[in-house]
Chain A
Amino acid sequence: VPVSAARRLFELGGLQAQVAVAYLVYWLRSWFKDASQRELELAETHLRAAIDVFATMGYLRGAAMKVGQAIANLPDLLPTQVEETLERLHFEAPPMHFALLREQVRNELGQDPESVFASFETDALAAASLGQVHRATLASGEQVAVKIQYPGIARSIRADFRALSALLFPTRLTQVWESLKGQFEDIRAVLERETDYELEAETLTRGRALFREDDGIVVPNVFDAYSTRRVLTMEFVEGVHVQDFLKTDPPQEQRDQFGEKIYGSGARLHFAGRLLYADPHPGNYLFLPNGELGLIDFGCVRPYNDQEWECCRLLDPAVRGDRETRREVGRLMAAIDDPAHADPKHLDLLEAYSDWMWRPYNLEAPFDFGSETYLREGIDLMSKLIGGRYTQGRPMVVFTTRWFFGMVAMLHRLRARVDVGALYNQERVAAEWTTA
């Protein structure tokens, strides 16, 4: 018997209204999960400001960010209880024990994991978005990582968002309804995309083809015969995450090289693949003993649509341009048609932000991302932009900002020195972009 959305809403009640907020916390937590004690302490003083930023732009995946943005745009819609909810609720797929996992694999691959694979580790290797990862061996001897989704999660997300839309009905009469609806629709799309492992396999394969052996970037091979919408089997990449890499106290040269690969791989996906690496999250990178960098999670990688791609071209002159060009591009991105009639405070902030963002690109030398002041300056600027509700702009800005903040945070953590301008141009030339 199909359950109607209205009925489901009745059954689930108010809890579901806060689900989107819970998703936000889920991402917040995943970001802080592997931070070191020192970083946590450092973060403490700036936590309040930072959370504003995390919640709205930059550090988070699209969905979480958009929720934050929606909330920041609608102060009247934010009851104090939502803040309490933020602390109380969190969304994560529950861990699966092996008996449940066995049924899920049987449903997806037709047989028990023990029969499908030559060996299968019953303990999970890691928690994945909305599921978990297990290590296994194929009959042919290949070592693989098998990502398995918790049952029914994709449909729960859809239902949660239907319920959420229904509960937001009272705001329909206000002007913001359309934009709010659009923002929640984006969240849903991002989350649903993450639940589609077939799509991720496709993107992995597309991304893998963009790198040559001497790039030192490893994108795991997908084993299609062992993959479905809910099970993704890929080559096992032997490496450590950033926090373990840093524990080895790596020399500056090594940090720089990994920093270059982190930025360079994003630029390669961008120019050669027309792919947006939307979430430079620490968990998505593996540091290999031979100096190679593994990109292991493509759930957050997606192609640009035509409109976004056009926007990337509009943004391009700012990278090499003078101060005035950068300001013009900044206004263009913020959808300010007539600067004479714009809020001067908004223009000042945009200029400051533009100067901040393009600074590393115009140094014509490696930029030291280890600098405390640089990251802090960006967070402060973003807080002011959000605080002043200067969040209007082309949708593309949201994505570039998120990517850029994530990248800066990652390179900061590595204390890497990277000539991002040179890497940008290298990929730009290789992709044969002509100057507009």
Chain B
Amino acid sequence: VRVTEKTKAATRRRILKSARTLFSREGFERTTTRDVAKAAAIATGTLFNYFATKEAIALGLVADAIEAAHQEFESLHRDRGSLEEDLFGFIAAELRHLKSHRGYVQPVLEIALSPLALLEKTGESLRLSHIERVERMIAARVSEGACSFVALHLYWTLYTGVLAFWAADESPNQEDTLAVLDSSLKAFVSVLPTPLVARNTANVSGELP
């Protein structure tokens, strides 16, 4: 029996849905791939055609949430703040969408997002989708290609650092992460070429009467 793309997509969705329920009910650590397969009513072997590991399932869930966040950000985005403010809104939207996935962001960071994981292809599309948007935000304010690989690497290091902090943040509503994100983006914007910084800091509501 030929498995159509449509059926494939439906099975993938079913696996992710079952995994999400189990992860939140039983916890990521205690859930096995066998449990997920059983809940999705498929053979464990079949599950491996879709996801090689439990961490890959987590990555799938995180990637979907981030994609939804990006779409929301772009549809609501008013594009009137400083670069720092825009980046803040962009990442804050991700964190909001990731809130219900917080229990397994850490393994996703390890396999797909951390600077070490850059050597792997896993999660590459997720990284690219994020980075391309960031580059566009920067380009819109200076010129194409204004953002060097050095700046981008620094950005990524700060970004994944914020995610790691957030994943373990015990403060109410993870508000400490907001402070860490705020400082991280200030640091990032400060290393960008001066004309860019000059154009953007003027608009930060830092000048109080």
Q: Is A381 part of the contact surface with B, judged by Cβ < 8 Å?
A: no
Question: B194 an interface residue at 8 Å Cβ cutoff?
Answer: no
Instruction: Answer whether A100 and B168 are a contact pair too, CB < 8 Å, given A124-B205, A155-B176.
Output: no
Contact partner of B92 (CB less than 8 A), chosen from A96, A99, A124, is A99
Residue of A nearest to B173 (CB): A107
Residues of A contacting B88 with CB < 8 Å? Answer: 97, 99-100
CA distance A7 to B78 in the complex (A): 42
With A and B bound together, what is the CA distance between A227 and B171 in angstroms?
19
A2–B176 CA distance with the chains assembled, in angstroms = 13
Chain B residues lying within 8 Å of A107, measured Cβ to Cβ, are 172-173, 175
Bound together, the chains give a CA A95 to CA B88 distance in angstroms of 14
User: Of residues 88 to 121 in B, which have CB atoms within 8 Å of A's CB atoms?
Assistant: 88-89, 92, 96
Q: A225 near B: Cβ within 8 Å?
A: no
- A122: interface (CB < 8 Å): yes
Q: Are B209 and A104 in contact (CB under 8 A)?
A: no
Q: Are B171 and A152 in contact (CB under 8 A)?
A: yes
Q: Are B85 and A97 in contact (CB under 8 A)?
A: yes
By beta carbon, the residue of chain A nearest B207 is A95
B84 at the binding interface (Cβ < 8 Å): yes
The reply to whether B208 and A99 contact each other, CB–CB distance below 8 Å, is: no
A151 on the interface (CB 8 Å rule)? yes
Asked whether any CB of chain A lies closer than 8 Å to the CB of B206, the reply is yes
Select one of A2, A106, A124 contacting B208, CB under 8 A.
Answer: A124
The answer to the question of B178 belonging to the interface, with a C-beta cut-off of 8 Å to chain A, is: yes
Using a Cβ–Cβ cut-off of 8 Å, how many residues does chain B contribute to the interface with A? 27
**B10 CB to nearest A CB, Å:** 34
B208 and A151 form a contact (CB under 8 A): no
> Which single residue of chain A is at the shortest CB-CB distance from B183?
A94
Q: Is residue A197 contacting chain B, with contact meaning CB distance below 8 A?
A: no
Say how far A150's CB is from chain B's closest CB, in angstroms.
7
Q: Are B81 and A100 in contact (CB under 8 A)?
A: no
Asked if B178 and A151 make an inter-chain contact with CB atoms under 8 angstroms apart, the answer reads yes
User: Roughly how many angstroms separate A122 CA and B170 CA in the complex, as a whole number?
Assistant: 29
Tell me, yes or no, whether B86 is within 8 Å of chain A by CB.
Answer: yes
Q: Indicate if the CB atoms of A103 and B178 lie closer than 8 Å.
A: yes
Q: Which residue of A lies closest to B208 (CB)?
A: A127
Interface centre among A98, A122, A125, A126 (most CB of B within 10 A): A98
The docked-state distance in angstroms from the alpha carbon of A94 to that of B179 is 9
Beta-carbon contact of B175 and A132 below 8 Å? no
| Residues on B with beta carbons closer than 8 Å to the beta carbon of A104 | 175, 178
Q: How far is the CA of A95 from the CA of B175 in the complex (A)?
A: 16
Q: Which of B52-91 contact A (CB under 8 A)?
A: 81-82, 84-86, 88-89
In this complex, what residue of B is CB-closest to A124? B208
CB pair A103–B92 under 8 Å, yes or no, is yes
Interface: A436 (CB within 8 A): no
Is A173 on the interface with B (CB-CB < 8 A)? no
B155-197 to A contact mask, C-beta < 8 Å, 1/0: 0000000000000101111011011011100000000000000
Distance in Å from the Cβ of A282 to the closest Cβ of chain B? 15
Task: Select one of A99, A102, A125, A152 contacting B179, CB under 8 A.
Answer: A152
Q: List 16 A-B contacts (CB under 8 A).
A: A94-B183, A95-B205, A95-B208, A97-B81, A97-B205, A98-B81, A98-B85, A99-B86, A100-B92, A102-B89, A107-B175, A123-B205, A124-B205, A124-B208, A124-B209, A151-B176
Q: Kindly list 9 other residue pairs between chains A and B, CB separation below 8 angstroms, not including A99-B81, A103-B178.
A: A1-B168, A95-B208, A97-B204, A99-B89, A100-B92, A100-B181, A107-B172, A126-B209, A155-B171
